Amino acid sequence: MAVLEVREVTKRYRNGTLANDRLNLAVQPGEIYGLLGPNGAGKTTLVRQVLGLLKPTSGAIHLDGVDIVADPGYARRSIGSLPQSQLNMQGIRLEEWVTGVAQLCGISAASARERTAALVRRLQLEDFARTMMANASGGVRRLAGFAAAIVADPRILILDEPTNDVDPVRRQLLWQFIGELGSRGTTVLLVTHNLAEAERYIDRLAIIDHGRILREGTPSALRRVVSDRLHLAVTAASELAPHPALVPDPLQPGAFSFERSDLSIVVGWLESLRDTGAISDFRIGPPTLDDIYAASLNGAAQEAPA
Ligand code: ADP
């Protein structure tokens, strides 16, 4: 049975905005499921409904088979979450906060302190454990929020851009940690823009735009959708006027995808730019998840033949 099942979920806000439009998805136990989409796609709206904080206009959401539209408290009790914007906490130290969250979840004070200390070590936060949350940097707050989300060992975890503002070393730690949680059986719903980093750890992902799922599948299945395309990374002195054959990557400046059949045209164009010094280098390779994302939003991806 799916841990999370979203069926025909539609959310229309009072001002008329249709934020989710008949969304369907099912997340299996221990799966790391990525939600990807541009700003305003409807990801936060979906997450808030799954957390039981917002009621769908229509449709059903089940968690462990429990109807959480009828029983939102079940969702709040079962899910650990790292929201995109965190509470503005004053007057509390990082380790006190994480320990307090564990105790609120019913864990004894001694065990809460032990769990917090283990997470502080694991996330290399020793230097910040006694830092006041109000004074912590964005990255440290994010890591503390992650620690608070997992300290009570939830079976279901929702992470909204967990690596925002986090430095590269701890980013890596965080992704490995998320991957391990998945292999230990935690079900993870992950909202991220960082496909290049998340790709190794995501089991399946859905690309959302205008409240609808454009595509869903494993990274390798989605890559087959764009098997007729190639990825291009350009190092340019200044911004290029892009060639009409290129689809720009919305997530990475200087990255594009194009049809395999345009390879010689694109290479010819790049070589002439290199001769004039407009670009210093370029690399062409197989398509990335970012290309799938860009092509899906542009309607450029074709279904792979069965
Ligand atoms: P995302 O998380 O993908 O950026 P959101 O779920 O926040 O998308 O927003 C989806 C759409 O719903 C956007 O058009 C946004 O402006 C709108 N929206 C979000 N929250 C509200 C609200 N409380 N009232 C009205 N419209 C909202």
pLDDT value, residue 179: 93
User: Is residue 3 within 8 Å of 187, Cβ to Cβ?
Assistant: yes
User: Which residue puts its alpha carbon closest to atom 20 of ligand 1?
Assistant: 45
pLDDT value, residue 106: 93
pLDDT value, residue 236: 83
User: Which residue puts its alpha carbon closest to atom 21 of ligand 1?
Assistant: 13
Length of the chain: 306
* Structure token pair of residue 301: 């991806």
User: Which residue puts its alpha carbon closest to atom 12 of ligand 1?
Assistant: 19
State whether the beta carbon of 85 lies less than 6 angstroms from ligand 1: no
State whether the beta carbon of 13 lies less than 6 angstroms from ligand 1: yes
Reported as a single tens digit per residue, the pLDDT across 24-51 is 999 999 999 999 988 899 999 999 999 9
Which residue ranges form the domains of the chain, and what is each CATH number? 4-222 (3.40.50.300), 228-286 (no CATH)
Per-residue pLDDT at 301 exceeds 60:
no
Mean per-residue pLDDT for 114-118?
98
pLDDT value, residue 192: 87
Angle between helices 109-122 and 94-104 (to 10 degrees): 130
pLDDT value, residue 87: 65
pLDDT value, residue 86: 66
CA pair distance 143, 244, nearest whole angstrom? 42
Per-residue pLDDT at 7 exceeds 60:
yes
Reported as a single tens digit per residue, the pLDDT across 233-284 is 998 877 778 899 998 887 788 899 899 999 999 999 999 999 998 898 899 9
CA angle in degrees (0–180, nearest 5) for 260-262-268: 125
State whether the beta carbon of 43 lies less than 6 angstroms from ligand 1: yes
pLDDT value, residue 302: 44
State whether the beta carbon of 302 lies less than 6 angstroms from ligand 1: no
User: Is residue 176 within 8 Å of 162, Cβ to Cβ?
Assistant: no
State the amino acid at position 239 in one-letter form: E
Closest atom of ligand 1 to CA, residue 11: 12
State whether the beta carbon of 192 lies less than 6 angstroms from ligand 1: no
Closest atom of ligand 1 to CA, residue 208: 3
Per-residue pLDDT at 167 exceeds 80:
yes
